Amino acid sequence: MHGRDSLERMRILAYIIKRVLAAIPVLIGVSILTFLISHAIPGDPARIIVGPKASKEAVEAIRREHGLDRPLPVQYVRYMTGLMQGDLGQSIRNHRPVTKDLADFFPATLELTLASLVLCLAVGIPLGILAAVQRNRLADHVARVFSVIGVSTPVFWLGLMLLLLFYRNLGWLPGSGRLDITSSPPAAVTGLYVIDAVLARDWALLKEVLSHLILPAFCLSYVYLAVITRIVRSSMIAVLGQDYITTAKANGLSTARVVFKHAFKNSLIPTVTIAGLSLGELLGGAILTETIFAWPGMGKYVVDSINSLDFPAIMGFTLLASTAYVVINLGVDVLYAFLNPRIRY
């Protein structure tokens, strides 16, 4: 038994190494495409930095300082050489290392992403289970309408409507930012205000942080919440039709025991798959939500960088989001072996 477990661990380790090696050309391809597309955008970042009235000499000086006067292949090789050493370059817009900028903005995006994922799972899974158990009844119809609306609602429109209703008209929730203007953030431990406020035992600040998180988290999560609801419903319906579920019911097991211990456990793989994909997409797709709610995360940072043609910042954001997506998908694939022991690598 011990030898079998060791063999399986070796297989998983070999699988992880294989996936990591396969991810390298993917990330290189992403870097090449992003580099070419960002440099194909009309405009001159040097002119944007110094302003429209600056002299030609000043513009050329900025171009030389950031290496923008060199051919594109030379610029790319120079960028990749720095990347191999852990250097994402220097922002053209604010002259700070891109690594430090991302370290400053990433916690806000991560907090918003995790809050959205928790909301997706906390609402989507029970709603999907209820819809499957009550198939073709009122609860199922309500869940399907809820899902269709979620999938078809544009994020920017939903964000504006949430602000209009809950911030402007009702005044129940704050409209923008992670905190009120007059408040100071908690002592930085993780960079996640919810966790840092708990660690500081500042419950008033925690309440304020959560109130600022509700609207953007719901706005960002609604589409994925609808998808998770539909996936859970479909996988649960498929499992509930299996013979062993019928046998369990015939043996007198309660409906709750059959649904949660037997059916839901065996429908977890599709749910985990879509949850992992949603986490990756939430992490890299928060741009609209962060812009609408003035959330100081990577989305707002990359929008400002695009407006300024800040190539190193755009590249840094893209590579970070791509790497996170690859890592999350690898984690989901490895998790399959723990959810279903019959899966072998």
The pLDDT score that the predictor gives to residue 341 is 61
The pLDDT score that the predictor gives to residue 342 is 63
> 345: helix, coil or strand?
coil
The pLDDT score that the predictor gives to residue 208 is 92
188: left (phi over 0), alpha (psi -120 to 50) or beta: beta
3-state secondary structure 221-259: HHHHHHHHHHHHHHHHHHHHCCHHHHHHHHCCCCHHHHH
* Helices 98-133 and 311-339, packing angle to 10 deg: 40
Half-sphere exposure of residue 60, counting CA atoms within 13 Å on the CB side? 3
Residue 52 is which amino acid?
P
CATH class given for the domain over 98-339: mainly alpha
Are the C-beta atoms of residues 291 and 307 closer than 8 Å to each other?
no
Question: pTM value?
Answer: 0.80
The pLDDT score that the predictor gives to residue 195 is 92
Instruction: Please list, residue by residue across 262-299, b when 16 or more beta carbons sit within 10 angstroms of its beta carbon and e when fewer do.
Output: bbbebbbebbbbbbbbbbbbbbbbbbbbbbbbebbbbb
Residue-level pLDDT, tens digit, the chain, 345 residues: 555 667 767 777 777 788 788 888 888 888 888 778 777 777 667 666 666 676 777 777 877 776 777 787 888 888 788 778 777 878 878 878 888 988 888 899 889 989 988 988 898 888 888 888 888 888 888 888 888 888 788 888 888 899 999 998 988 888 888 888 888 888 888 888 999 999 989 899 999 999 999 999 998 888 888 888 888 888 888 887 777 777 777 777 777 777 777 777 777 778 788 888 778 777 766 788 888 888 888 888 888 888 877 888 888 888 888 888 888 888 877 777 676 666 665
Domain boundaries, the chain: 98-339
DSSP 8-state symbol, 267: T
Are the C-beta atoms of residues 129 and 232 closer than 8 Å to each other?
yes
Closest by alpha carbon to 207, among 194, 192, 189, 217? Answer: 194
Q: How many angstroms separate the first and last alpha carbons of the chain?
A: 17
Alpha-carbon distance of 328 to 284, in angstroms, equals 12
Alpha-carbon distance of 132 to 146, in angstroms, equals 14
